[in-house]
Amino acid sequence: MIESFHHDGLTFDVVDAGPEDGEPVVLLHGFPERAGSWGQVSARLTAQGLRTLAPDQRGYSPGARPPRRRDYAMPHLVGDVLALIDEVGGSAHVVGHDWGAAVAWTLAARHPEACRTLTAVSVPHPAAFLAAMPRGQLLQSWYMGMFQLPWLPEQLLSKRGGGLDLALRKGGSTPEDIERLQRDIIDYGALTGGLNWYRALPFAPPSWSRTKVRVPTTFVWSDHDVALGRWGAEHTADWVEADYEFVELAGVSHWIPTQAPDALAEAILERVLG
């Protein structure tokens, strides 16, 4: 079992669970979350004999918080996950939620040899996401522009009871979710690192967003997601040239791993175990 791994001069913390000889499943969290957001899903996967590895990703692990926004560009984020996969044999099933899904899509497209299967949660294929922008997604993604600003987002989001709490409540977060955010992100010093994923968007290689995925894929989306619209979800199939399943969860908010762990674990197990 591993507790950490190294890449690019950085040290990443990992929650490693389940039998050491189980098939590895890498679980990639989104914003504003850490590895602990996968706890309920991980328990269901390990009960079926799988080994789960959930890293605190770049900007979140205390030993992996580089200062420059360009250090959070997608090639670095994908490289971090590849380093973890190398630790467990060079290939793994990959699951990602929110920003973790964006990394998972890109990894599967650019490095199919490392990705046995893909389960992406909430965020559609990057090309479908971009194509959805003039179809309503731009309004739903308004915050991505605001997060480009220096300093101000940290001030607004760190204030208890402030803008982030309100936005999260409107998006379906529970009081427990918001308290976990305060403890695990803000108090832990991971807020700027998480925001730097958004600030690094201008450094993303344009061609990387338009690479098709050729590994078996499941996409899980929920119809009460205030951040990701239906058009991108329904057109993600256009960017997968392999066995593909679209799973829509009715009445579930954006926070699928913590609010619908049974349904998500079932989708993952169906993809991983067949």
132-154 pLDDT tens trace = 999 999 999 999 999 999 999 99
Q: Is 18 helix (H, G, I), strand (E, B) or coil?
A: coil
Does residue 254 carry a catalytic annotation? yes
Q: Tell me the pLDDT tens digit for each residue of 9-62.
A: 999 999 999 999 999 999 999 999 999 999 999 999 999 999 999 999 999 999
Rounded CA-CA distance 238/244 in Å is 10
Which one of the listed residues 56, 71, 198, 225 is annotated catalytic? 198
Q: What is the side-by-side order of every strand in the sheet holding 4-7?
A: 4-7, 10-17, 51-55, 24-28, 92-97, 115-121, 217-222, 244-249
Please tell me the predicted confidence (pLDDT) of residue 172.
86
Please tell me the predicted confidence (pLDDT) of residue 162.
64
Which one of the listed residues 56, 80, 98, 225 is annotated catalytic? 98
Q: Is the pLDDT of residue 265 over 80?
A: yes
Please tell me the predicted confidence (pLDDT) of residue 161.
67
**Mean of the per-residue pLDDT values of the chain:** 95
Domain ranges of the chain: 4-273
Judge: domain 4-273, CATH 3.40.50.1820: yes
Rounded CA-CA distance 29/11 in Å is 17
Question: Shortest CA distance to 28 belongs to which of 86, 63, 78, 72?
Answer: 78
Q: Is the pLDDT of residue 250 over 70?
A: yes
Q: Calculate what percentage of the chain has a pLDDT beyond 70.
A: 99
Q: Tell me the pLDDT tens digit for each residue of 92-147.
A: 999 999 999 999 999 999 999 999 999 999 999 999 999 999 999 999 999 999 99
Q: Rounded to two decimals, what is the model's pTM?
A: 0.97
Q: Which residues have C-beta within 8 Å of that of residue 132, sequence separation ≥ 6?
A: 124, 229, 231, 232, 235
Which one of the listed residues 7, 93, 97, 254 is annotated catalytic? 254
- Assign 7 a pLDDT band (cuts: 50, 70, 90): very high
Positive/negative CA dihedral, 92, 28, 78, 136: positive
